[in-house]
Amino acid sequence: MAAGKYTVVTRTAASQAAALAALALLVIAVALPAFASRSLIQDMFFILTMLTLAQFWNLLAGYGGLVSVGQQAFVGLGAYMLFGGAILWGVNPVAGLLLSGVFALLLAIPMAFFAFRLQGAYFAIGTWVVAEVVRLSVAQWKAVGGGTGTSLPRDARDAMWGVEWIEMIFDTRASAARDILAYWLALALAVATIGGIYLFLRTKRGLALAALRDNVEAARSVGVDSARMKWLVFLVAAFGTGIAGGLIFMQNGRISPDSAFSIIDWTAFVIFIVVIGGIGTIEGPIVGVLVFFALQTLLADFGAWYLMVLGGVGIAVMLFSPGGLWGLVSGRTGIELFPIRRRLNRRD
Amino acid sequence: MIWIDTILQGILLGGLYALFALGLSLVFGIMRLVNLAHGDLIVFAAYLILVLVTLLGLGPFLAAAIAAPIMFALGFALQRLVLNRVLGTDILPPLLVTFGLSVLLQNALQEGFSADSRRIPAGWLETASVPLGPISLGVMPLMTFASAILVTLALQWLFYRTSLGRAFRATSDDPVTASLMGVKPASVFAKATGIAMIVVTIAALYLGTRANFDPTTGPARLIYAFEAVIIGGLGSLWGTLAGGIIIGVAQTVGAQINPEWQILAGHIAFLVVLLIRPRGLFPRAFD
Amino acid sequence: MALLETKGLTAFYGDFQALFGVDVSLSEGETVAVIGANGAGKTTLMRSISGVIAQAPGMVRFEGREIGATAADDIMAAGIAMVPEGRKLFPSLSVEENLLMGCHRRKVNGPWTLQSVYELFPILKERRDRPGTALSGGQQQMVSIGRALMSNPRVLLCDEISLGLAPVVIKDIYAAFPQIRATGASIVVVEQDIGQAMKVADRVYCMMEGRVTLSGAPADLSREEIHDAYFGTAA
């Protein structure tokens, strides 16, 4: 066989079209504050931050096989470090996002050390227990309001980088300008997350990770170091989740241990988004977050029914279509927007 | 003296946690299934007992005796219709399905019973206590602890002295070979979950009579239960009882030092055990 | 009429076809050996008959009834007991508990009881309370055979019972076969050890690459014929 007869390709027609569409969407998204209402900006902020959380959870569970139900630990600690930084040390909240990420990363090290001792489902509980420990400990931190929580101080809010500039350009009030700033940051974070995960999955290590997900034994036999991959994935996800947490509460302006460490908001919803959309794909969380937002908007007035529907849909998807909605689409049409597989094409 | 009292109260509290955990331990031991809705099922059973008590005017113990077969049937059906379909080498489907079930149950209970906290009335038993020298122990906590020991003994007997228990262990070892012995794994699993739900009902009786509960009470009980199971060593029933006691004592000792530290102390005890004995105190020889 | 027979039996592992139209039969009281090299499809044949691999209906008949699509546990209850490849004792059960699993579902009065199994393999009685997997390979094989006998099966399927055992141990185990046959059981043994198979069997099937390549009574088959059927083209 002549080697020159084959080429290795990752691109697909759909992925090229998707790349162009994504670029166009990105341009529109950046310009959105110029013509969108404040409530749309807030909705978009919610969607983008949930999407970021979902992508990181998907990286953990869908690719790394690490089913964590303790991601609220990183959201909560990230958020609290942003508040703590602003209150105690006068750190600008925008810069505080870095604190969020770094402290989440620091928490992830001992957390992984404990949780990696547990296999499979017990890993999930281990992460949950650590998250509870962090929540209960933070509730003892009187400087940031203890169990009742606190607000972001006025001067910290006013000092946020870029707000004055946004006020000037869009000619809005400071509160709306802060929403726009948060939205742009969320957009940047979501794009960086999706782009970063996609690029990572296309690298040699990323492919090894996908191999690990498909078959641990086989991956090990070709030399994939599963322990190291797990550490890497866990730490990266913690860093990103921490930043997202900081951002969510920077926009919110108020924090309490119960809201910042809510397992429902930051883990349950995120899991449903990934599962309903399609676990183990980059497209899945994107589809999932849109469905989730639609369900939430439609069923917002029905209180507990909304969560019951969400739980029921999650169970149904797992039982009847484990690949999620994107799995259905992709299975029928073969479309991949973020192809990571390398295919051998014959050159003729 | 205060410390002896604290530790005794902790041991008795551990009995309650062991009751939360034994059903979980049973199911995990047989089918490696981790049921994230376990805590919510306990709360569900507590509401069931409450309904029987308030509607039919029954005593809590009689109500629990009626609730037990209902819970068995529910557990059997749940395993047969839903959980058996997601068992396998991939741990994600059962985790996510039971997680969905947990959210579903919590909100269904909230819809049906509102978010108000309730308590199963137990009459004079609620306040009765037995003096033991300078210490006095509540009758309810003592009954809880005795029930935990009885349930452990009963499960131990079931596992090691009956033909169903033999089938449980054989199926847990190797479902394919068990089916060559005429065992239907699907039905063995359903029976196991049914039995776990009877234990859940007993746990619910004491959860509901000793303290207030509401639809969101489940997840915290699930964590204590898991901690007890992992401390004890996966699949060991006596280990689970010991694990429950360790969590209980850690919590009462923590609370004695600072009331806000009760829950935190339990979790920290768990993490410490995990650090020293990653496989728990009484791990199985093989797995 | 044959007690057990397969007609055009095919079997797949995913996309991989392991059996291509296999016809074998077993009469009442008969002992049949299936021989063949590794990968010839012998174990797949056993797993298909015992229901571990689900079959399309119409390919396996037992006592005149169609059992191709029946679940493994129901086939067992109908009277086909299996000594699986690799012995497959339950590690958390003692020797005696392993034996009792044999009659967990099918409880039929007959020659085989705990007592008669202990008479057949006296060493097991001494080790009755030990965990099954703490025994030597040969003793584990005795437990596995005893376990299958406990249900007083009409058909006993023995899959590769000499695999991994020392020749002297294999001889010990096969020494029990006359007694098992004497109770009237019909037996299928799957063997790579041709010599041993020829000694116990009334008839032999030789398999290669998922097909039956030769069958007949041991006395009627020449060494060359068997060699060809076992290894393919004459060397």
Report domain extents, chain B.
2-113+137-276
pLDDT at residue A86, as a whole number: 93
What average pLDDT does range B72-87 have in this prediction?
Answer: 95
Query: Residue C193: pLDDT band by 50, 70, 90 thresholds?
Result: confident
Cα separation, C228 vs C235, whole angstroms? 8
Answer for the pair A219, A212: CB distance below 8 angstroms, yes or no.
yes
pLDDT at residue A13, as a whole number: 74
Q: Would you call C50 and B180 a contact, using CB atoms and an 8 Å cutoff?
A: yes
Query: Residue C45: pLDDT band by 50, 70, 90 thresholds?
Result: very high
Query: Residue C233: pLDDT band by 50, 70, 90 thresholds?
Result: low
Query: Residue C234: pLDDT band by 50, 70, 90 thresholds?
Result: very low
Query: Residue A215: pLDDT band by 50, 70, 90 thresholds?
Result: low
**pLDDT higher than 50, residue B235:** yes
Cα separation, A113 vs A110, whole angstroms? 5
Answer for the pair C76, B182: CB distance below 8 angstroms, yes or no.
yes
pTM of the model: 0.89
C93 shares contact with chain B (CB less than 8 Å): yes
Cα separation, B173 vs B166, whole angstroms? 11
Chain C residues close to B183, C-beta within 8 Å: 73, 101, 104-105
Which of B93, B104, B219 minimises the CB distance to A311? Answer: B104
C76 shares contact with chain B (CB less than 8 Å): yes
Residue of B nearest to A60 (CA): B92
C147 shares contact with chain B (CB less than 8 Å): yes
Distance in Å, alpha carbon of B268 to nearest chain A alpha carbon = 8
What average pLDDT does range A49-68 have in this prediction?
Answer: 92
Q: Which helix (H) or strand (E) holds C205?
A: strand C203-208
Mean residue pLDDT across chain C: 91
Query: Would you say residue C67 lies in a domain?
Result: yes
Phi, psi (degrees; rounded to nearest 5) at B110: -65, -40
Mean residue pLDDT across chain A: 87
**Kind of pairing, strands A254-255 and A343-346?**
unpaired
pLDDT at residue A333, as a whole number: 81
Cα separation, A138 vs A2, whole angstroms? 64
What average pLDDT does range C75-102 have in this prediction?
Answer: 95
Which of A69, A130, A308 minimises the CB distance to B104? Answer: A308
Distance in Å, alpha carbon of B189 to nearest chain C alpha carbon = 15
Give the SS3 label for residue C10.
strand
Mutation site for A-interface testing, chosen from B28, B35, B97, B229 by largest number of A Cβ within 10 Å? B97
pLDDT at residue A1, as a whole number: 43
User: Could you give the percent of chain A with pLDDT greater than 90?
Assistant: 48
Per-residue pLDDT tens over the stretch A219-257: 555 556 678 888 999 999 999 999 999 999 999 999 999
Answer for the pair B5, B135: CB distance below 8 angstroms, yes or no.
yes
Q: Is the ipTM reported for this complex over the cut 0.95?
A: no
Per-residue pLDDT tens over the stretch B17-28: 999 999 999 998
pLDDT at residue B287, as a whole number: 46
Answer for the pair B152, B22: CB distance below 8 angstroms, yes or no.
yes
How many of the other CB atoms lie within 10 Å of CB of B116?
9
B2-113+137-276 folds as ABC transporter involved in vitamin B12 uptake, BtuC (1.10.3470)
Distance in Å, alpha carbon of B95 to nearest chain A alpha carbon = 7
C136 shares contact with chain B (CB less than 8 Å): no
Beta strands in A59-188 (DSSP E): 150-151
Which A residues in the span 254-283 are in contact with B, Cβ-Cβ below 8 Å? Answer: 263-264, 268, 271-272, 275, 279
**pLDDT higher than 90, residue B161:** yes
Cα separation, C54 vs C66, whole angstroms? 13
User: Could you give the percent of chain C with pLDDT greater than 90?
Assistant: 71
Answer for the pair B53, B121: CB distance below 8 angstroms, yes or no.
yes
**pLDDT higher than 50, residue A2:** no
**pLDDT higher than 60, residue A85:** yes
C: neighbours with 3+ CB pairs under 8 Å?
Answer: B
> Distances from the Cα of B12 to the Cαs of A68, A262, B146, B263, in angstroms?
32, 30, 9, 16
Q: Would you call A307 and B102 a contact, using CB atoms and an 8 Å cutoff?
A: no
- Quick one: tokens of A112? 């992984």
Per-residue pLDDT tens over the stretch A4-13: 677 777 777 7
Tell me, letter by letter, the H, E, C secondary structure of C128-156.
CCCEHHHCCHHHHHHHHHHHHHCCCCCEE
pLDDT at residue A346, as a whole number: 67
Residue of B nearest to C73 (CA): B182
Tell me the CATH number at C203.
3.40.50.300
pLDDT at residue A342, as a whole number: 65
Write out the residue range of the structural domain in which residue C26 sits.
4-230
Cα separation, C163 vs C154, whole angstroms? 24
Cα separation, C201 vs C122, whole angstroms? 25
Q: What secondary structure does DSSP assign to B180-219, as a single string?
A: HTT--HHHHHHHHHHHHHHHHHHHHHHHHHHS-B-TT-HH
Distance in Å, alpha carbon of A162 to nearest chain B alpha carbon = 40
Per-residue pLDDT tens over the stretch C112-150: 999 999 999 999 999 999 999 899 999 999 999 999 999
What average pLDDT does range C152-171 have in this prediction?
Answer: 93
pLDDT at residue B96, as a whole number: 85
Chain C residues close to B176, C-beta within 8 Å: 52, 72
**pLDDT higher than 60, residue B148:** yes
What average pLDDT does range A255-265 have in this prediction?
Answer: 93
Distance in Å, alpha carbon of B187 to nearest chain C alpha carbon = 11
Distance in Å, alpha carbon of B123 to nearest chain A alpha carbon = 33
Query: Residue A205: pLDDT band by 50, 70, 90 thresholds?
Result: confident
Is C149 buried (19+), middle (13-18) or exposed (0-12) by CB count in 10 A? Answer: buried
- Quick one: tokens of C125? 């009685």
pLDDT at residue A220, as a whole number: 58
- Quick one: tokens of A218? 């086989």
Cα separation, B189 vs B76, whole angstroms? 8
Residue of B nearest to C153 (CA): B181
Which of B34, B223, B260 minimises the CB distance to A129? Answer: B223
What average pLDDT does range A79-99 have in this prediction?
Answer: 93
Which of A121, A129, A132 minimises the CB distance to B34? Answer: A121
- N-to-C CA span, chain B: 43
Alpha-carbon dihedral sign for residues C204, C210, C212, C214: negative
Q: Would you call B178 and C90 a contact, using CB atoms and an 8 Å cutoff?
A: yes
pLDDT at residue B117, as a whole number: 94
Give the contacts of C205 (CB within 8 A, at least 6 positions apart): C24, C32, C33, C34, C35, C212, C214, C215
Q: Would you call A264 and B94 a contact, using CB atoms and an 8 Å cutoff?
A: no
Q: Which helix (H) or strand (E) holds B241?
A: helix B237-257
Answer for the pair B146, B137: CB distance below 8 angstroms, yes or no.
no
Phi, psi (degrees; rounded to nearest 5) at A255: -140, 145
The domain ranges of chain A are 3-263
Chain B residues close to C54, C-beta within 8 Å: none
What average pLDDT does range B72-98 have in this prediction?
Answer: 90
Our count of domains for chain C comes to 1
3-state SS of chain A: helix, strand, coil percent to 5? 75, 5, 20
Q: How many pairs of residues across A and B have Cβ atoms under 8 Å apart? A: 109
**pLDDT higher than 70, residue A216:** no
Give the contacts of B221 (CB within 8 A, at least 6 positions apart): B20, B38, B39, B42, B43, B207
Query: Would you say residue C235 lies in a domain?
Result: no
pLDDT at residue A3, as a whole number: 52
Chain C residues close to B167, C-beta within 8 Å: 101, 104
